[in-house]
Amino acid sequence: MEHHQSETSIASTTSESTEAQAAAQPATAAAAISAREADTGRLVLPKSVLVVLKAGGRAPQLKEGRRKVKVNGSEPFQKVYDHLRRILQTTSSLFLYVTSSHIAPSPDQSVANIAVLFGRRNAKGMYVVDVDYAIEPAWG
């Protein structure tokens, strides 16, 4: 009998702790990622990043469906250059700038690092980096 009672109390304690954990869970995926980073004490680099491309200067505009591209976070930023060249069907110079800071990321920098430094998180917790592109230097 005593063994059965201890099982019951463990079950009720587990049920109570599960309810408390559910109440303490973050409301959004972004908050969940932030909480995970806080728990581990280290930054978690994103596996994928959404890059939003915007034309600047005399650069050709992209069609609506081509303005957003999902990129593997471990890829170098050069992949964004290559993707944009392929879409624009050009081999001429391209200048890419992170919108929030007006810096031109190094092509060998990882997309994940750029996202963590200059990006934002959308409602789903995914990193988003807004990138302006131009066919001539836009900022000095």
Note the pLDDT tens digit of each residue in 78-115.
999 999 999 999 888 899 999 878 899 999 999 999 99
User: Which segments within 1-140 are labelled E, that is strand?
Assistant: 48-55, 68-72, 95-98, 120-121, 127-134
Q: Is a pLDDT exceeding 90 seen at residue 75? A: yes
- Using DSSP's 3-state secondary structure scheme, residue 67 falls into coil
Tokens at 117, concatenated: 């430094």
Q: Are 130 and 97 in contact (CB under 8 A)?
A: no
Q: What is the dihedral of CA 25, 27, 29, 33, to 10 degrees?
A: -50
% of the chain surpassing 90 pLDDT: 53
DSSP state of 129: E
Q: Give the dihedral of Cα atoms 30, 111, 95, 93; nearest 10 deg.
A: -140
Lowest mean pLDDT among 3-7, 81-85, 118-122: 3-7
C-alpha separations of 45 from 67, 100, 114, 115, 126 in Å: 23, 19, 10, 9, 11
Q: Alpha-carbon torsion 41, 43, 48, 52, what sign?
A: positive
Residue 92: what pLDDT?
Answer: 86
Q: What is the mean pLDDT of residues 29-45?
A: 57
Query: Which of 90, 89, 94 has its CA nearest to residue 135?
Result: 94
* Percent above pLDDT 70 for the chain: 69
Top-confidence residue, 110 or 11: 110
pLDDT above 80 for 5: no
